[in-house]
Amino acid sequence: MQQRLLGHTGLKVSRLGLGTMTWGRDTDEHEARDQLRAFVEAGGNLVDTAAGYTEGDSERLIGSLIGDIVHRDEVVIATKAGIGRRSGGTRVTNASRGFLISSLDQSLHRLGVDHVDLWQVHTWVDDAPLEETLGALDYAVSTGRAAYVGISNYTGWQTAQAATWQRAVPGRARLASTQMEYSLLNRSIEAEVLPAAQALGLGVLPWSPLGRGVLTGKYRGGVPADSRAASPHFASFVTNVLGERSERIVEAVVRAAEGLDWTPLEVALAWVRDRPGVTAPIVGARTAAQLKASLLVEECELPTELVAALDDVSGTPR
């Protein structure tokens, strides 16, 4: 698998990342083991997780596989902090310095490592002073807990403000990346986030590059029993993007796939992987078989005329 530099850094990552949001819940230890093995054997190295994924079980599972399936230096471990759950299950966001640093230390313990390669603030939090949030990133780098730092789910102006602050103050850890939802179904980051990231040297790591699974075409005939939309954890996550517009885009992807003798997954993933400013889409899969299907995209490059056609059908109406 080809590698790309992450933003304006020397960190090389595979141009597909392995997402682990379901590890420890919908993806059990055996499937996770097979996924990681297949990913590394295909040349992948970027493994993305978060403290808030499956209440820390995703990180624990990754930690149990490091040294067993892969050596530590074979993977670029990226994790996030800032989203968690209270004892009753209520989602909570916190980007204060104390919460973030405590979360990072817990992540390191669960992963069984002394540092992560990329540590990201999982989301913007209105009531946390930005300089305090960014100060936690500085602390993580200066103490060797993280090699690089980034942000996730920041709007355009939030991205620009954070990156500019880190560049303007000497000695601060510059942001390496931003992680945002980006696919043919959701191109909203093209208006402000992508231009800000490119101007300020941040690599872009798209999450849900397959439109929450919809772009694979699996929902054309309804909701499969084994799909995310049938899961109590992800039903609303998927159904929120279903509708007439998504149907038009999916049909265009399917037609393009038929003409190329590809799968719709390969068309949709190749499109986002090769967008300007993108470093590596984060691909999540419930099973190893699903992941292996995604890894086949390494051999795919969309013809320019099909890129233009997909751009046209998925463009935001003006």
The predicted-structure confidence for 195-213, as pLDDT tens digits, reads as follows 999 999 999 999 999 999 9
Task: Tell me the pLDDT tens digit for each residue of 39-77.
Answer: 999 999 999 999 999 999 999 999 999 999 999 999 999
Average pLDDT over residues 244-256: 96
Say if residue 99's pLDDT is above 50: yes
Say if residue 145's pLDDT is above 90: yes
Average pLDDT over residues 110-123: 98
Q: What is the pLDDT of residue 230?
A: 46
Average pLDDT over residues 232-257: 84
Query: Dihedral (C-alpha) 174, 180, 184, 190: value to the nearest 10 degrees?
Result: -50
Task: Tell me the pLDDT tens digit for each residue of 273-295.
Answer: 999 999 999 999 999 999 999 99
- Kindly indicate the confidence band of residue 240, based on its pLDDT and cuts at 50, 70 and 90: confident
Q: What is the pLDDT of residue 113?
A: 98
Q: Please confirm, yes or no, whether 139 is among the known catalytic residues.
A: no
Strand 46-48 to strand 91-93: parallel, antiparallel, or no bridges (unpaired)? unpaired
Percentage of the chain lying above the pLDDT 90 cut: 87
Q: What is the pLDDT of residue 318?
A: 42
**Token pair of 57, please?**
């079980």
Q: Compute the mean pLDDT over every residue in the chain, rounded to the nearest whole number.
A: 93
The CATH number that domain 3-213+277-303 falls under is: 3.20.20.100
* Phi-psi map region of 227: left, alpha, beta (phi>0 left; psi -120 to 50 alpha): beta
DSSP states along the chain: --EEE-TTSS-EEESSEEE-TTBTTTB-HHHHHHHHHHHHHTT--EEE--TTGGGGHHHHHHHHHBTTTB-GGG-EEEEEESEEE-TTS-EEE---HHHHHHHHHHHHHHHT-S-EEEEEE-S--TTS-HHHHHHHHHHHHHTTSEEEEEEES--HHHHHHHHHHHHHSTTPPPEEEEEEE-BTTB-GGGTTHHHHHHHHT-EEEEESTTTTTGGGTTTTTS--TTSGGGSTTTHHHHHTT-SHHHHHHHHHHHHHHHHHT--HHHHHHHHHHTSTTB---EEE-SSHHHHHHHHGGGG----HHHHHHHHHHHSPP-
Say if residue 234's pLDDT is above 80: no
Q: What is the pLDDT of residue 218?
A: 87
Task: Tell me the pLDDT tens digit for each residue of 11-20.
Answer: 999 999 999 9
Please state, in angstroms and rounded to a whole number, the distance separating the CA atoms of residues 150 and 137: 8
Q: What is the pLDDT of residue 91?
A: 84
**C-beta atoms surrounding 255 within 10 Å:** 15
Please state, in angstroms and rounded to a whole number, the distance separating the CA atoms of residues 242 and 228: 13
- Kindly indicate the confidence band of residue 231, based on its pLDDT and cuts at 50, 70 and 90: low
- The single residue of 53, 148, 154, 182 carrying the catalytic annotation is 53
Q: What is the pLDDT of residue 143?
A: 98
Q: What is the pLDDT of residue 242?
A: 76
**Among 3-7, 82-86, 300-304, the least confident range:** 82-86
Say if residue 174's pLDDT is above 70: yes
